[in-house]
Structure 1
Amino acid sequence: MGSPMVSADPDRGPEGVPLRSLDGSAEGFAGRFGIWIAGIWLVFLLEPVVDHLPPSTSAEVVALVAVALFALVYLYAFWQLKLLRDELLQAELPLRQGLVVVGVLVVLNLLEYPGLGEAALGGIIFVTATAAMVLPSRVAVPLVLLISGAGVVAVVTVPGWDADLDFPVFALVGAFLLWAVKQILARNIDLVRMRQENEALLLDQERNRFARDLHDILGHSLTVIAVKSELAGRLLESGDPRAAAEVADLERLSRDALADVRRAVHGYREITLPGEIARARGTLAAAGIEALVPTSVDDVVGDLRELFAWTIREGVTNVVRHSAARRCEIELTADRVVIRNDGVATTHRHADEGHGLRGLRERADAVGARLRAVRSGGEFILEVGP
């Protein structure tokens, strides 16, 4: 009699998501047919059953019924194990359920001996294999040793039985092989869990990135629109002919903001340093703030250009929105951008508050730069650099 073997890699994860093997292939043969592979080994229980058909004694009837129930409980154990792997990513049954399953198998196997004699000893192979698969190692190891030892004692002491240790040895070997299979499954489950955690982390990071980008886009655009709306209102009240141009500019800015949001949603929005300098000049001018901005960005290191562009956008937006500045200066070097304004007021928001600066700090950290936002000598200074 051989030892029962099974290979049942988890093929479905939480919420029905198909799991993948380590090489990235789709669910494997063993994952789909593992329960049937485990059941194939039950064929070795047929030999003693056939030898006692038709049953001639009540003991044989009880034994044959016990064998049938034994096979069903064995299949139930592996079916439950597969469900737990698929739905909950667990490599073994809960301890109480596992002990009940193994205990029922032991009792049914004991009921077989009066009718089948020594032939019923083959059942201990299935018992130890099941114990190795469904129970934690701290419980399975002593239990397997106890059952195998009981088999050794039985073949040596029961009168009329051959002193053949094949069954107890197969019980140990089968249990060890199934334990090894369970360790592989447990490692695979750990990898699947780790992958799902990484995917959740990446998703969370992407959500934060999108929220940050959306804040930067709308925060800047709506600030400019608000400033220009106020200006247009004053011009309309005074009958200034420039009001029409400001209203047209408002329409253009609104359309640009909508286009930016759409590009952000699709992940294709781009931001350029020259473009943000031009935006800053126009935004500051619209707010009545004297703008001192660089005329060239040629010296800026390539991998810092996007960061500096976001810095200028966020810095200028905060100057217009939160300060009473009359003058704003932007300085650019190869590895540093500095934005100074003279509009520090008691209502100015703290440098470390707000989604904008927090998101900007995250961008700086991502490329190994540092963000500093300080008040000094009546100025508010925002600096990003080494």
Structure 2
Amino acid sequence: MKAFPAFPLLTSGGTDESPSRLRRLAGISIGLVYLCFPVLEIVTGEVTGDRALWGGAGLAVFVCLYTATVLSPRNFGDPTPLTYWLLGATTLLGVGLAVALGGGWLTLPIYMTVVYSMALRPRLSVAGVLAMVVTVVLVGLLRGNDPGGTLVLVFQVLTLGALFMGVRNTRMLVVRLRQAQEEVARLAASEERLRIARDLHDLLGHSLSLIVLKSELAGRLAENGSERAVAEIRDIESVARQALVEVRDAVTGYRQRGLSGELDGARAALEAAGTRATIRLAGTPPPGTLDELLGWAVREGVTNVVRHARATRCEIEVTVGGEAATLDIVDDGRGAAPYGPGSGLTGLTERVRAAGGTVSAGPRETGFALRVSVPLPSASRSG
């Protein structure tokens, strides 16, 4: 009794069915080389007569069924009913030929071991491999084969079964990793769209409010024949151009909004709205990311004052020191202004919370107050 090194490579993977089938076909083309052992038994005359005729026909049918089983559409470990039918027919034919002819035909159950390992769920794969072990042992005993050769075949069934189950599990992990990467990319794109939407809301809300106010002022001045109308129109043009630049920068993701620049813009917007602005700064300059966040807070708070408060006075105070940076924006306008969830304060709150800070906003006896408090980085505290 001879031991035959059958290594029918079965590859499957990827998310596209067409290239996956091509890889499977290439794999089984290599593995089918080892069918030369039963073919040689027919060619050399070890199997003759009707047994050779039926054996050759059975081997040809086995190859067709085996190829169809490998190429049948399926997901990992989730065969279709067609695959189960093909598996059953291939198993019956392969085991039948091994029982009837013995010798080199015992390579056929080894081929089935690989199919089970790659196509079935783990428990069914293990059951199929053990079934082929039993088949090889029983056929070896039935045909009176050499115990040493039978033991080698059993070892091949077990090792190939374990090998290809490992290959299958590895490919499953690769597919799941690709799916996870696609999901991460989708979420990142969704988050980026949300970021751009928030940026555009904040940018255009502030700039357009200022343009509306200056346009109304320019209209009144023009009706009165005042020369200041020309200056206001030029301011409108300047604000519009700046808004366009900021929108472009926001879309490309490179815009940097500093606190000092936002305070200057806030003063201009409040004055255009007829609101007296008082701005106070205390402490050291905030670090880069915190400077940008406080700039966002100033922009959002002042935009709401201009839009809703109808205030005559607005105080902005920024304090950086100790363990936190604090921004307070207080106006004397309508305290019951509609600062609902749909306003930009929701986006500001999300940003501040992400930095570990807090936002409080609400009406006072006269006016409205917004407070933003963000903890300073440890390096800034020690400095």
- Secondary structure of 2:9's counterpart equals coil
- Alignment partner, residue 156 of structure 1: 141
Alpha-carbon distance, 1:167 to partner? 2.6
- In structure 2, the residue matched to 1:244 is 230
Task: Show CA shifts across 1:326-384 (max 9, x none).
Answer: 211101000111111122254x2235x12511211121122221111122222311111
Cα displacement (A) at 1:58: 4.3
Q: Residue deviations 1:105-125, cap 9 Å, x none?
A: 212214534774433221000
Specify the alignment match of 2:38 in structure 1.
48
Query: How far did residue 8 of structure 1 move?
Result: 4.2
Partner in structure 2 of residue 278 of structure 1: 264
- Note the 1:67-216 alignment, pairs <5 A: 67-80=59-72, 90-94=75-79, 96-113=81-98, 116-158=101-143, 161-163=145-147, 164-165=149-150, 166-216=152-202
Q: Is the 8 A contact 2:312 2:332 kept in 1?
A: yes
Task: Determine the C-alpha separation between the residues in 1 that align with 2:94 and 2:15.
Answer: 35
5+ residue gaps, structure 1, are 19-29, 85-89
Letter of the structure 2 residue corresponding to residue 253 of structure 1 = V
Question: 2:309 aligns to what?
Answer: 323
Distance 2:245 2:261 in 1: 15
The one-letter code matched in structure 2 to 1:215 is H
**Whole-Å separation in 1 of the counterparts to 2:15 and 2:132:** 35
TM-score by length of 2: 0.85
Counterpart of 1:288 in 2: which secondary structure? coil
Q: How many residues get paired? A: 363
Deviation at 1:176, TM superposition (A): 1.3
Deviations, residues 180-236 of structure 1 (Å, cap 9, x unaligned): 111222222232222222222222111111111111111111111111111111112
SS at match of 1:268: coil
Q: Is 1:4 aligned to 2:7, yes or no?
A: yes
1:235 is paired with a residue whose SS is: helix
1:65 correspondence with 2:57 = yes
- Secondary structure at the counterpart of residue 332 of structure 1: strand
Gap runs ≥5 in structure 2: 375-383
Aligned-pair identity in percent equals 34
Specify the SS of the correspondent of 1:239. coil
Letter in 2 for 1:70: F
Aligned equivalents of 1:240 and 1:3: distance in 2? 98
Secondary structure of 1:344's match?
coil
| Partners of 2:95 and 2:288 in 1: CA distance | 78
CA distance change for structure 1 residues 194 and 319 in 2, over 3 Å: closer, same or farther? same
CA distance, structure 2, for counterparts of residue 226 and residue 298 of structure 1: 35
Q: CA RMSD in A?
A: 2.9
Q: Assess if the C-alpha contact under 8 Å between 1:60 and 1:116 holds in 2.
A: no
Aligned to 1:350: 339
1:26 maps to which residue? none
The match for 1:374 among 339, 348, 362 is 362
Q: So what's the TM-score if we normalise by structure 1?
A: 0.84
